Chain A
Amino acid sequence: MKFYDIIALSWKNLMANKMRSLLTITGISVGIATIVFLVSLGYGLQALSIRKITAISSLTTLDVTPAQDSIEITDSVLKDFAKIDKVEKVSPLLSFAGQVTDADKKTDVVAYVVDKDYLGLQGSKTEFGGLFTKDDQIVLSSGVAKALSLEAQDLVSNKITFTGYTADKDGTLIKNEGEYTVAGIIDDTSSAFAYVPISSNFVTASTAYNSVKVKVTDTNALASVKEAVQSKGFKASSIADTISQVYQIFSIIQIVLASFGIIALFVAAIGMFNTMTIALLERTRDIGIMKAIGVRNSTVRAIFLTESFMISFLGGFCGALSGILFAQFINWVINILAKSVGGQAEKLFYTPMPIVLAIVVFSLVVGVITGFYPAKRASKLNPLEALRYE
């Protein structure tokens, strides 16, 4: 019998009992949809965590701090770092106490003196306005605006006075004041801080910086640069370390989530096995007829296998689709809820297509395995006995 005739016959068998076929396909769909949904959730949460982490710092950046008090990060150290192979940029940070004055209002802030590259390396993003490009610009947190009783967006482009208090080598407090234009606001209402350009008069050749960001050319260079920095007596940590830990944690979460889905699919597979076995009993007479008029055993087996293949394919396809749609729906609902309480919309689900494909293939394999035994029994049936079956 030709292949498409086998498909046509299997399809007619499926259609002969629409309700049962539909229920079986639904069973498989639910199993597959559960797996797709849970795996998407796992990947989504992982991607979300990585996004949150990389928002703090970029992947190719090392955070360097002195390993002990006797060592300081000075200009000469920065030059040393810049000479290390595969180092792209070196960007220091100095923090001290300061004040921001806007008109008659005044508030205390933590001031960070950084160069223009620093905020980019850190992955900082402004909620309003942009990062500073000129030396007379400043970036504030929305916490500053709050402390000044101003709306964050109203503060952008305002001229403010910044007063910084640094200490020199002897510990004498030096007060510096300057006029700045607010370039942008970083969304952080919980703390008041200001980023001030380095070329202002807060740093001297002898300034000891608090920390320095060292950007390497690519992630492969992280290890060697890290070693070089450590050999000079500094501590270096990179976000890549954290991320690999996150990946580890999430691979465990993925397995747990996928196991739940596999249990669902297992239940569905038992249902499918049941359906195929009942279909076999129900069609015993038909099998007898087919064999009696000259349909080969191998064809009978192929018809049964094709039928279970169809069930699992339809189940897998519908399941994958509904799993993705359900994930999107849940994401939409959660985002609406989050927005209503003032939270940010996030993408909680991420469905990698190769994984979906793998899951659908998995459902096909389960389907064919499930159909194998009934198909084999059908092909082994004695036609006369099958014809006598009522």
Chain B
Amino acid sequence: MAKSIVIEAKKVSKTFKLQGQEIQVLKDINVSVHSGEYVMFYGASGCGKSTLLNVICGLEPPTEGELIVRGESLYGKSQHDITEYRRSKIGIVFQQFNLLKSLTIQENVALPLAAGGENFKRRMDRAAHLLEMVGLTKFLRRRPPELSGGQQQRVAITRALATNPWIIVCDEPTGNLDSRSADEVMAIIERLNSKSKRTVLMVTHNPEYLHFPNRIVYLKDGQVDKEVTNREVTAEAEKTNEKLDLDLRDLLRDKEEK
């Protein structure tokens, strides 16, 4: 059975200009991500893995090459569409959690829905429901600084799930966490892939996590060094994911989540 490719980087290069000097961060990257897959970008600091993730998230247009999302070039779209892609098609989890300190936990989770124009009650209900799933119900009205790092990262994951996206993108999600919190967060992400059938992309430099994904893309000096497949994506996972994708068209109407 042919694998369905959801995201494909085609000859992606990225060059930054720093004080007149050109620094090439990504060179001719060709990577495909399949539906339902858990892919890890692994490499040392400065290998360009975060930049690649930013390109995939619609945050950094490549200098050369294309990013194809479901057959369409993402950066060929309008700014408006790219923003909408970030809001509803992917969920981003950052190393620094990146929660808004002026909002409560619940409001933070509901923010992507608010940005989409969802009404107050429905988005707050959904936020509460999602937070319940990660065991943070009693913190709904707290503000981010009152929570531990692990709790904040769980909030951030919940926010990434608010619009029910089909891809979860994590940039060193455990980088600022103690090992116990890190294990919890990794477990949640693993379950998102295995149980909730989300496609997961993760950037890490921690070798302990190499057993989690289906496939590991090793990056070195802005180039793909090698790709290692731990195990194939099961046909069932892919199928479920396709079905999920169909449901996602009516994201905001989909209140219940299995």
- A interface residues (Cβ-Cβ under 8 A, vs B): 1-2, 5, 12-13, 15-16, 285-286, 288-297, 299, 383-384, 387
Contacts and interface: CB of A to CB of B under 8 A. Distances in A.
A226 B94 CA distance: 87
Contact of A290 (B57, B85, B100): B100
A25 to B, nearest CB: 18
Contact of A292 (B80, B86, B101, B116): B86
Interface of B: 54, 57, 59-60, 79-80, 83-88, 92, 94, 96, 98-103, 111-112, 114-117, 119-120, 159-160, 163
A48 to B, nearest CB: 51
B87 A289 contact: no
A289 B99 contact: yes
B233 to A, nearest CB: 27
A177 B149 CA distance: 108
Contacts of B96: 387
Contacts of B79: 297
B161 to A, nearest CB: 12
A295 B92 CA distance: 13
Nearest to B59: A384
B88 A294 contact: yes
For the residues of A in contact with B, the DSSP-based class is helix
A292 B102 contact: no
Contacts of A16: 101-102
B115 A296 contact: yes
Contacts of B112: 293-294
Contacts of A293: 86-87, 92, 111-112, 115, 159-160
Contact of A12 (B99, B103, B119): B103
A307 B59 CA distance: 27
B88 A292 contact: no
B98 A1 contact: no
Contact of A1 (B86, B94, B114, B163): B114
A389 to B, nearest CB: 12
5 contacts: A2-B119, A13-B102, A290-B115, A294-B85, A295-B111
Given A12-B103, A292-B92, A295-B87, 13 more contacts: A5-B114, A12-B102, A16-B101, A16-B102, A286-B101, A290-B115, A294-B83, A294-B85, A294-B86, A295-B115, A296-B115, A384-B59, A387-B94
Contact of A296 (B54, B83, B100, B159): B83
A296 B87 CA distance: 9
A290 B59 CA distance: 12
A283 to B, nearest CB: 9
Contacts of B111: 290, 293, 295
A383 B59 contact: yes
A289 B100 contact: yes
B18 to A, nearest CB: 13
A5 B103 CA distance: 12
Given A12-B103, A13-B102, A292-B59, A1 B54 contact: no
